[in-house]
Amino acid sequence: MHYSIENLPTYRLTDLPTYRLTDLPTYRTFTLMAEAKPYIAHFDLDSFFVSVEIINNPSLKGKPVIVGGYERGVVSTCSYEARKYGVHSAMPMKKALQLCPHAIVTHSSSGQYSKYSRWVTEIIASKVPLFEKASIDEFYVDLSGMDKFFGASKYAQELRKIITKETGLPISGGLSSARFISKMATNEAKPNGFLQVPPGKEKEFLWPLAVEKINGVGKQTEQQLKNIGLYTIEDIAKTPLNVLEAYLGKWAESLWQKSQGIGSAEIETNWEQKSMSHENTFDKDNTDISFLQSELVRLTEKTAYALRQDELMTGCVTVKIRYSDFETTSRQETIDYTALDDVLIAKVKDLFNKSYQKGRPVRLLGVRFNQFIPITMQMSLFDNNVEKLNLFKAVDDIKDRFGTKFISKAVSSKGKDSEHKKFTQHNKKKEAE
């Protein structure tokens, strides 16, 4: 039988027993003989927000496009054409437009990004048994058990093709024995490429690369490393660990290990099941709507605070109501990924209004979030959400110091319309040129 990714049965993660070659008791004996290594693939959509914008407006294809906030905002992402001018994510918009004055600035509702993100997730879930959604546009896939049948590299590449064919989004990928190497391979392969680092070739791939290419090496560490003359990953690998420790402290060991090509091959499989919730049973059963609503706000703020503490956004909200006779209803809806109190409070109130039977005394209310992904700062640009998120985080810091009791928030979106107008004008001018 010829297997191809097209004729595989479709199955869901949850339908399958979880297996992994490394979990099997016989594995250790097997490794001694065959040096079997895990096959971890990493995939990341290319210039994700821009690619979604291009699907909605194909005339943007091939042009320098920036998705970002308004004047005080920053670049969320930009097309590879704009990257040639030095524009990149998180750059102030003003600077980006100085570098690339003819760029087309665009924005969209985060709903589109969440929708496409979920679509890609579903395709991956239907084709592989073990995967992890690592961010809005990024996935780790364990192909260790598969390589015997299909060839892990062929499988990974076919998966990319299917994703692009079905959704229209370009995606790059990397394959190796460790998560961080696969992610770095993806970065090297971008845009629209694939790179395998075969077992045993890890150092060959890593050593010529600049130190800042290692995931987690930020500007500060990069500078520290360069100050002591370490520019490439090979330089790190050839520095004795104790010397590195003297400069970098604790972080030195994992960095040094990475420079040797050693890193985790674990896939987080329970990310789909994770949830956060708060509920409250009242001293006295209650029918007062304004009291119940204020409780919902309190429970939502508490849960959203926990969400932001873990740097997560949620994609699904559940409201639980238990009536005085113990009858319990739960209503759940998927939403665009968010970590914003006001968005979550509105959804929680909406779910409550849809399911509460007026007049019935309530004994307990509960709010639950699940479907988490790491926070993407510049989600949903229309509502100045970066500013809002930063505001909520600032309030969170005060809560950390003084406790949650004394704090309440006020959110303003002042100035949004005039800034919107300015950028619409910027684009109009560009189109006319």
Before 101, cis peptide (omega within 30)? Answer: no
Regarding 138 and contact with Mg ion (CB under 5 A), the answer is: yes
- Among the listed residues 132, 137, 202, 341, the single contact to Mg ion using CB under 5 A: 137
Least separation in angstroms between CB 258 and ligand TTP: 20
What element of type H or E holds 283? strand 275-286
Query: Which listed range, 42-50, 173-181, 287-295, 403-411, lies at the site for ligand TTP (CB under 6 A)?
Result: 42-50
Residue in 21, 39, 40, 47 binding ligand TTP, rule: CB under 6 A: 47
Tokens of 399: 């809560």
Where on the phi/psi map is residue 314: left (φ > 0), alpha (ψ -120 to 50), or beta? beta
Q: Does 48 bind Mg ion (CB under 5 A)?
A: yes
When binding is defined by CB under 6 A, the residue of 378, 380, 384, 385 that contacts ligand TTP is 378
**Number of H-type helices and E-type strands within the chain:** 16, 12
Residue 83 CB, nearest approach to ligand TTP (Å): 8
Q: Is 212 a catalytic residue?
A: no
Burial group, residue 14, by CB count within 10 angstroms (0-12, 13-18, 19+):
exposed
Q: How far is CA 409 from the centre of its chain?
A: 27
Give the residue ranges of DSSP H helices in 63-109: 80-83, 93-99
77 binds, among ligand TTP, Mg ion, none (CB under 5 to 8 A by kind): ligand TTP
φ, ψ dihedrals at 278, nearest 5°: -140, 140
Q: Confirm or reject binding of residue 140 to Mg ion (CB under 5 A).
A: no
Choose the contact partner of 49 out of Mg ion, ligand TTP, none; CB within 5 to 8 A by kind. Answer: ligand TTP
Q: Which of residues 133-152 bind ligand TTP (CB under 6 A)?
A: 136-138
159 phi, psi to nearest 5 deg: -60, -45
Residue number, 373 or 381, with CB nearest to Mg ion:
373
Instruction: Indicate whether 300 belongs to the interface with ligand TTP (CB under 6 A).
Output: no
User: What is the distance between the alpha carbons of residues 184 and 173, in angstroms, rounded to a whole number?
Assistant: 9
* CA pair distance 338, 385, nearest whole angstrom: 10
Q: Is 295 exposed, middle or buried (0-12, 13-18, 19+ CB in 10 A)?
A: buried
Q: Which is nearer to ligand TTP, 313 or 345 (CB)?
A: 313
379 lies in the binding site for Mg ion (CB under 5 A): no
**Strands, E, within 80-181: which ranges?**
104-106, 131-135, 138-142, 171-176
State the catalytic residue, choosing from 138, 202, 272, 295.
Answer: 138
- Is residue 49 within the footprint of ligand TTP (CB under 6 A)? yes
Does position 190 bind ligand TTP by CB under 6 A? yes
Residue 45 in the binding site for Mg ion (CB under 5 A): yes
> For strand 138-142 and strand 328-338, is the pairing parallel, antiparallel, or unpaired?
unpaired
Stretch that binds ligand TTP, among 44-52, 195-203, 295-303, 356-364 (CB under 6 A): 44-52
Minimum CB distance to Mg ion, residue 172 (Å): 8
Query: Rounded CA gap, 69 and 217, in Å?
Result: 26
Residues involved in catalysis: 138
Which stretches of the chain bind ligand TTP, using CB under 6 A? 44-49, 76-77, 89-90, 136-138, 190-191, 376-378
Which stretches of the chain bind Mg ion, using CB under 5 A? 44-45, 48, 135, 137-138
